[in-house]
Amino acid sequence: MRAEEPDAALVLQAARIEVAGGLSYADCFAVATAQRHGAPLLTGDPEIVALSGEVEVLDLRSAS
């Protein structure tokens, strides 16, 4: 894992996601970063899990 500094494109994508509603701005950055890298987002956050088609989400609440 590595930290990624947000650039203008990532900030704008996170803002677009936030405008759609339902997520905190921090969660929007997580979604935008996963989209950028074509990576699944591992989370137990129900608001992110509820996203449909925005990003591949792996729900950690159901992991055994």
Q: What is the DSSP letter of 61?
A: G
Angstrom CA distances, 47 to 7, 31, 43, 51, stand at 25, 11, 10, 7
Q: Tell me whether residue 3 is in a domain.
A: no
Q: Tell me whether residue 12 is in a domain.
A: yes
Which pLDDT score, from 0 to 100, does residue 6 have?
A: 93
pTM for the model: 0.87
Over the stretch 1-53, which tens digit does the pLDDT of each residue have?
788 899 999 999 999 999 988 899 999 999 999 999 999 999 999 999 998 78
Q: Please give the backbone phi and psi of residue 41, each rounded to the nearest 5 degrees, phi first.
A: -105, 115
pLDDT of 64 higher than 60:
no
C-alpha torsion 16→28→56→20, nearest 10: -40
Q: How many domains does the chain have?
A: 1
In the structure encoding, which two tokens stand for residue 15, read together?
């803002």
Structural domain range at position 35: 8-62
